[in-house]
Amino acid sequence: MISYEPQSKEHSVIRFVRIQVLSSVPGARLVEIEAETFGDNLVLNSIENLGGVDIVIETEGGDSERISVANAIGLMDGDLVTPWRFGRASRGQTDIFGRITVDLGLVYWVDEVRLIGRLVLGRGFDFKFYEVMTSDGSLGPDGTALWFKHFSGHGSQTNRREGMADHPFPLRPVRLVRIGWKYWDAVCAVETGGGQTATTIGCQAQGITEELQVFGTGYPLAVTLRSQILDLQGLKNFTNLEWEGETPPGTRHEIRTRTGNDLNSVITFHNKDGKEITERAWGKLIPSFRGSIDTTFGVGDDWSPWSRIYHTSAQAFQSPVPRRYVQVDVRLVSEDPEAAASLEMLQINFDDPLARDVVAEIAPALTTPAVQQAFSLFVRPRGTVTGFDYLSVEASTQLNFVEARLGGERFDTLAESTDNGFRVALPRRVQSNELLELSFDAEIYLQSTRFDVFLEDRSGDVPVRQRVDAGDATDRAPANTNIVSLPLDPELFVNVDVSSRVLTPNGDGQNDELQVALDVLNLIEERPLRLRIMELSGRVIRSVARGSAAGQQHLVWDARDESGVLVPPGIYILELNLQGDGREESLHRLVTVVY
């Protein structure tokens, strides 16, 4: 076995390998040639992965010129013989900058960017002052990408001798790579007298790039798969979503759905070369110059937004039903670069609908937070086939069933508790246009709390369940919604109750502990709720914290400090702090400890 290792960086860029036999050895033969590389150059597949390249050069007037993809492709085609350069000369009185932005199409784990200036067409490196930045595609408050700067400085003599510059950095998720450089140096031009001389001696950097290469390791951070629009040829009741796949530690599936009944058609016209043109231009062409006319279909105006993420296989369908069309979106996420999620099978289960059209609405649709409120939920089916015999309600808060009515008449029934609400058995199978009313009590802690309603047919071996849309079920509920809102109040917690302002921790069971009860509002995800006890000087002597979601919460202080020792008698400051989704809120009270 013979090994060859390049002795310099420029020798590591290889396109052709030639093996020349200088002397013949009887019986010798070539078995295998193996090349060890840095890895895959992620730029090469960026176009196929729906990425691309964007090159913008400022002009003397302060505007900018965008380079076409066809002209820019030379820096990402894997061919050193086809470089990219900006050939137009500039002699502006201020600095002029350019930038090359490559979208890799996916988020990869990247640890090196290599900029090859000139290797084939005369050794050199044309970038004088330049910067190397990357982004994972996250956006800032202004809607632009957030960038991480890896290098900012001047090209070195070594770069010019080798014709390239390597920029390694710690492994990080990257989708966008940007090279920004000073295309025209106005200070240089002034110092050299300006004019043609300044251009000649190098106050201009044309950004000549034979190749931009990006290397990394492991699997992409996320891969997105999206199905075609699936046509079920009629209204169907999608019941659940099942899938099989592997999710090693550090990976996960993110699966969502959307549904609708209408499609929008888009007609495109092409010339004989396949280029898309307008219908008018197509009509003016002679028949031999006309190309195809293609019709594509997209989602219509009645389609639902993408659903919440499905967490487990066989989970109940999250998008509105019944519908004719459905689409599935899958993201395979790998937060560990050495592990990858996989998806082997995905199927949507469906039945014929229990009702072709059924709507529900709730009253009142606006309530006071953290106060027990009586609600009425109205359900009206239309176009039922065989009817249904159960009705269930689910929400993110506790529901206390009161009574049920069918056609205005109260009927006796027992509500069966479920994981997220209750289920009611109906006195008979409900048919089209009959109005159902369910009354219950609930306390609302979260803005826009949704009450999901389901029709159920439990007469067969396998129960059938159908989600109900929000809509106009009766004039008695004017909002036409199944969502209950709270007043637009910025408070994160209300109804704070401190058990006592005086603690007597002597072990007699009376006021030995300080108990704080409160109602937390408008937290979409669990957030830290903290109770701190401070001396009057502000020194913290005890901190009690827990994760808090919207709802009733309790915290306890046992009159001890962080070391477990009872605090001395005196006056202390109680601070209650909650870090919300977009802001934080604090409350302070005085408490006294006596013995």
Pairwise CA distance, residues 590 & 575, whole Å: 9
Read off φ and ψ for residue 468, nearest 5 degrees.
-105, 135
The sign of the dihedral angle between the CA atoms of 212, 217, 218, 220 is negative
End-to-end Cα distance, the chain: 87
Q: What is the mean pLDDT of each run of 10 residues along the chain (595 residues)?
A: 68 72 82 78 83 82 71 81 74 80 92 90 86 93 92 91 92 94 81 58 78 92 93 95 95 96 91 85 90 89 94 93 96 93 96 92 94 96 87 95 95 92 95 94 93 92 91 92 88 90 87 91 87 93 90 92 93 92 87 91
Q: What one-character DSSP code corresponds to residue 189?
A: H
DSSP class of residue 98 equals E
Residues 115 and 146: beta-carbon distance below 8 Å: no
The residues with which 394 forms a beta bridge, in sequence order, are: 421, 452
Which pLDDT does position 449 carry in this prediction? 94
pLDDT of the residue at 577: 94
**Residue 89: per-residue pLDDT:** 63
| Helix, coil or strand: residue 283 | helix
Whole-angstrom distance, CA of residue 42 vs CA of residue 76: 10
In this predicted structure, what is the pLDDT of residue 76?
83
Residue 583 Cα distances to 155, 492, 524, angstroms:
45, 9, 13
pLDDT attached to residue 488: 82
Residue 426 near residue 455, CB atoms below 8 Å: no
What domains can you pick out in the chain, each with its CATH number? Answer: 52-216 (2.60.120.260), 223-351 (no CATH), 357-484 (2.60.40.1510), 493-593 (2.60.40.4070)
Q: What is the pLDDT of residue 205?
A: 81
**Closest to 320 in 3D by CA, of 209, 233, 235:** 235
Looking at residue 379, its amino acid is V
Token code pair at residue 404: 């049920």
